Every structure is written in C-alpha cells, then in structure tokens.
Structure 1
C-alpha cells in the first residue's frame, strides 16, 4: 500500500523561555492512526466439468464472477429437456448469466439479487429454461442470495456447515426454473436469503450436478486440505465428477431417489440390489472466501483499488475442462 510521508525540517534552536507550545507533527493521510473502515470482499475460484457426452459443446451450465464491487457470483443450469425440442439448452443459461453480469451496475438493482434476476430474465430472448442462483456480498459482510430451483449454496465457518440453501422443486427431479415460456417461475418465486458473514467464512456454491454427487463431509475435507479457492473449486469439481460416473457410489442423488420411493425392480431387490450410483451431469463449482480490506476514511480510492485488484473479475463465459 503506497503511502507518502512528508519529512519535517529541523528548526534552529530557540531560547526555552520564548518557545511556543509544541505542535504535533503532521501525519500522513494514510497513517494507521487516522479513522479507517473495514470492508468485506470475496476471493473467488470456479471450475466447470461438463457432462461426459457434452464435453465438446462445453455443457449447459453457465456462471459469472464479478469482484469489482466486493463480490458477486451466479450460476445457471440449463434444463436439458429442451434438447428434445431441438433447442440448445445452453443458450438460455448463457444469455441469462451474460445479462446478469451486464445489469450489475444498473441503478435499479441496488445490490439486490432478486431485482438483478428480474432484469436479467426480462432481457433474455433465447428459448429455454434454467435453474439459477445469484449471491451478492455487501461491504458490511452481509451476503444476499436469490435462487430459483436446485442450484445450491453452503457457508462453512470454522470447519462446519453453518448455512445451506434449500432446493425448490415441483416433484423429484423437476426443479423450479426460470423459463422463456409465459407459464413458469419468475424472480418472485425465488428463495431469498440474507446471511451475515465474518472474515474467513467459506462459501461453496454449485449446480445440482455438484451437490447430487458429493456429501457435506467431503466438501469440508476438501476445503480444509486446499491451499486456496482455485484449488478447492477444482478439487471439489473433480471429486463430484469421479462420483458421478461411479455406478457403485451411493450418492446423495440415489439416496434421495430411494427416499422418494424410486428403486430397482422387485426382482432385483430379491437379489439384494438397490438403486445406487452417481448422477452424470454438468458440474459447476464456485468457492469463495470472505476477506476484509482496510479503507481510509478519506481519499481512500487509491487504497481500495490496490486491494481490489488482487481479486480480479471473472468472465461471464463457462470454462470447460
């Protein structure tokens, strides 16, 4: 952090009797003794692994990360059922995320993820639908979340999951979704949450392809072993991908299916078989850590830029492994 300090010139000695009251030396304007404020920011890492059969096209998930305003990220999971109507499901999710990124600076958004979703959805012209989650961190450490469907988010503090969003669905494997059709869910159906965060908190967010294939304890273990958010996002995505193609892994998805009454045919049950295995899908993971920066009370823009430049801004384009 650059700080200029004016050097004092020595005055010639004067008789003690004529010496005026001493004046304290002027401090630098960036002196730590001046009033300052703390602002919360996010350090963010992301990783995407498409469905094995969709690797060439990059899959149907999309996301964006923006750290210029402290921390905003979003994930949209294109609904694959549109492929049966000869519609590319990725077009809707990608345009929705591009519009979300573009409207961040809109005055009407006012750091409200639900309003951002409203404007992004209204501006999306592609045919299709998607589940979506948007999270915004305010400077005071308040995380605002708006989600429609089964993209999820968890907050980890001191090695424990202290908050999780809940999926919205019509029935098993049919989540709420933002759509190009008139009869669908809208921003008004979003699950809206506000969580107060502290420095060091970890945020793990992902599409259903991630959470369907990994357990909370596995997430905690990977976070604890990872040196940074980039490494954590990649390790989590790769572990979920490994589980997704393992027919013997009793995944969260298969456990949920059995609890809802789905299972193998009766004759397989007689042989001791049960419904298990991972769920192959696009996998998107975003890992973020809450950090704080010190902003001087006045003329602090230069310091804020230096601190913020370490975070950078993510692109609104899905990167595929």
Structure 2
C-alpha cells in the first residue's frame, strides 16, 4: 500500500482523517494505461486532497492500487468521487483506461463503493471513447456489496414521453403541447429521452420552469427547454456522468443569458451493466418500478427525493443570485434489470398521483399489454384527471394541509410532463 498523505499535526491546521482508497482497473482488453490519473473524494462538508496515482508505472489491466488520502474530519457523507485521467501526448500509446470501481474505506469503518465500468480516453482495442474525467456516485449500502450487486446484466430500453399544459392555459389560448420523438414540452415543462454514442448509454429527464416569472415578463419555459435540449445533446455525445450533464446544461443557460428558473431531474443508464445514475434538483422526480420476486406484485424499488426549501419553493436553477447550483443536486445510483419500468415526471405528476396510484396505473397498463407509448399516456392522463378533481386526496393536498394547518382537498392544476422507459 502506498501512503500519500498524513494527518496534520501542526497547531491551528484543520484536523484530518485518513481514508484508504482502492482503485480497480478493469480486466478487459486494452484496459490498462501508461498514464496517471487523479482521484478526489467530495463529501457533504468538504473534499479530500487530490491524489495523483499511477505516475510511475501506470495503471495495469486487472490491477488493484491502494493508497491513502487525507480528508477533513468533518467531510460529511461522501457524495461523489471525482476521477480524471491525465491528457496524453502525441507519442503516448495505450492511453485508454477502463476503470471498474473505486472503493473508499473511512476511518470508522465506513465503506463507499463507486462503480464506473467505463473508459477514460480512447481505447486501443475497439472503438471505445470516454471522457477524461467523471463524477462517480456511491452505492448506498451499510456494507461492502458483491460485484454482481454493483453492476448488473446488459439491458436494452424502450422509452416515450408526453407533456400536457395547465388546463387554464389551454382555455386562455396560452398553452399547447409539443410532443415529438425524443423531445417535447408544454407550458413551462419540457422532457427528453435518447440513446448515446454506439447505443451504449441511454438518458432521459424532465424540467419544470417556474411560472411566476411570467409576472415580470420572463418565460421560464425557455429555460426548461434549453436545459433539456442541452442534456439531450450531452447524452447523444456519450456522456454518462449525470452530474456533468446537469453542470453543462446549467452553464449553457447561464452563458446564453436565459432568464427565469427551473427544476430538473435527469438520469443516464450504462446499458452494458444496467447501472442507472440520477441527479435531481427540485421537486421533479424519478421512480423505478419492478416485480416482487415471490408475489409478482409491482412495487417501487427506487425513487429520488423531492427537494424543497419550504412548501411550494423547490430547489431550482436560475439567473437570480440565490438560485441553487448543480452541486445542490441529490445524486443516486441503482442497478436496473429486465422487467423494470422507469418513470420520470415533473411535479404535475408527483403532486397528483401517490406512489401507490402510480404503481397501480403502470401495472394495469402492463397487464393490458401496453408498451412505453401507451403507458406514458395512461400515467399522464391519470395525473391530469387527479389534478382537476376537487374532492380527491392527493400528495399535494396532504402536503398543503400539513404546511398550513388547514384541511385541503383536491389535485393541483399544473403542466404535466412524463417520460416512461421499459427495461428489457
């Protein structure tokens, strides 16, 4: 084991802990590289030092390199691991690097596993090209997981999306839905879904622009559409790093001077191993539904949280000084498998259908033989019907009752965008 950092002893210097980090290079043809890489842990409250690895001997195929890194004692729960491979020169050969996994062991026995199963740079064997840097998301578990639970089997997907405008906008002639293959929008909502380079990556997402900006002459629909279009382009270019997708989309709307604000959730799937990565900022969300092994009953296997500063004020990207940033996003990773159904929706879906109602609607559609286009239409219509029902108990009415200490009932009229993906 190579020790590269120590705790600070000098008076006045921040107290640090030692983290043991294990870098596993994949055992596939061309996986090793002669070039070094950088590794850094990012926690909720701070970051570790950035460590250079493989500087002398490179990173060999199938190798395991262990080292230590100093991190602040109050680094908090690890949110991601940043990995970057050094740039190659004109004379470098064998510069492509296939990283399988990074494991981080904390000073108190904490275990974080960061799956990758992806290329950095251009491989020597086969036409595989990956970004030179990635943000890896940890698997949430209280113990070290076996390899088959970190990465699954190859999968394929079928997806469809739809968006409905707020019913009052339709009545007033101010709203319409534009639903095309791979991209659509209605009102201030927008969505996308697509596959990436060589069909090895799939991505989808929704964004919900904040309507209140209309009062000062700003159309937040322009922001949600720009965010989704940029995210779509990133996935099509082969970017699996879901935080990077979010960061680039946010930088684009800022550089273009797009006004307003928007929530956003986006996911990518590495189709070779069924590894889903999700980034959520605000009150849009993602569900993974699957059959329970023994009963065959459809249930929620995974979902992202809704982020709010307070009721009715979600986290959001925007042009104003105190807007949230991509670093505020909730990051998660999960293995999907054949038979799973992934649903992403804006708050127009989540405010009007409960987990149980969503699951039952998808289950009925599946049992009727529906595929992704049929399922997404049924789910969106169910959310719309709930939104205009004044007597119904909905997630929104429950939350409003709790927030204002008054009894509320009925759905919440809103733009509704939904994307459904069937995993095969």
* TM-score interval, normalised by the smaller of the two chains: 0.7 to 0.9
Q: Is the 8 A contact 2:195 2:236 kept in 1?
A: no
1:278 aligns with 2:402: no
Match of 1:130 in 2: 262
Once the two structures are superposed, what CA deviation does each residue of 1:223-255 show, in whole Å capped at 9, x if it has no partner?
122111111110111111111111111111001
Which residue, 131, 135, 143 being the options, matches 2:276? 143
Q: How far apart, in 1, do the equivalents of 2:308 and 2:164 lie?
A: 24
Question: Which of the two has greater strand per residue?
Answer: 2
Please report how far the alpha carbon of residue 183 of structure 1 lies from its aligned counterpart in structure 2 after TM superposition: 2.6
Q: Is the 8 A contact 1:154 1:205 kept in 2?
A: yes
Structure 1 unpaired stretches of 5+: 1-36, 264-273, 292-321
Match of 2:290 in 1: 157
Structure of higher CA gyration radius: 1
Q: Is the 8 A contact 2:202 2:235 kept in 1?
A: no
RMSD: 1.7
Judged with a 3 Å threshold, the aligned counterparts in structure 2 of structure 1 residues 196 and 38 are, in CA distance, closer, same or farther, namely closer
Q: Is the 8 A contact 1:78 1:128 kept in 2?
A: yes
Please report how far the alpha carbon of residue 145 of structure 1 lies from its aligned counterpart in structure 2 after TM superposition: 0.3
Match of 1:62 in 2: 190
Once the two structures are superposed, what CA deviation does each residue of 1:14-45 show, in whole Å capped at 9, x if it has no partner?
xxxxxxxxxxxxxxxxxxxxxxx963222112
Once the two structures are superposed, what CA deviation does each residue of 1:269-306 show, in whole Å capped at 9, x if it has no partner?
xxxxx311110000111111112xxxxxxxxxxxxxxx
Q: How far apart, in 2, do the equivalents of 1:105 and 1:276 lie?
A: 43
Once the two structures are superposed, what CA deviation does each residue of 1:252-272 show, in whole Å capped at 9, x if it has no partner?
100111122342xxxxxxxxx
Length-normalised TM-score, structure 1: 0.72
Once the two structures are superposed, what CA deviation does each residue of 1:112-167 show, in whole Å capped at 9, x if it has no partner?
11111111111113101100001101021000000100101111110011111111
Match of 1:119 in 2: 248
Q: Is the 8 A contact 1:245 1:280 kept in 2?
A: yes
Q: Is the 8 A contact 1:42 1:67 kept in 2?
A: no
Q: How far apart, in 2, do the equivalents of 1:130 and 1:168 lie?
A: 13
Structure 2 unpaired stretches of 5+: 1-151, 177-186, 292-297
Match of 2:163 in 1: 48
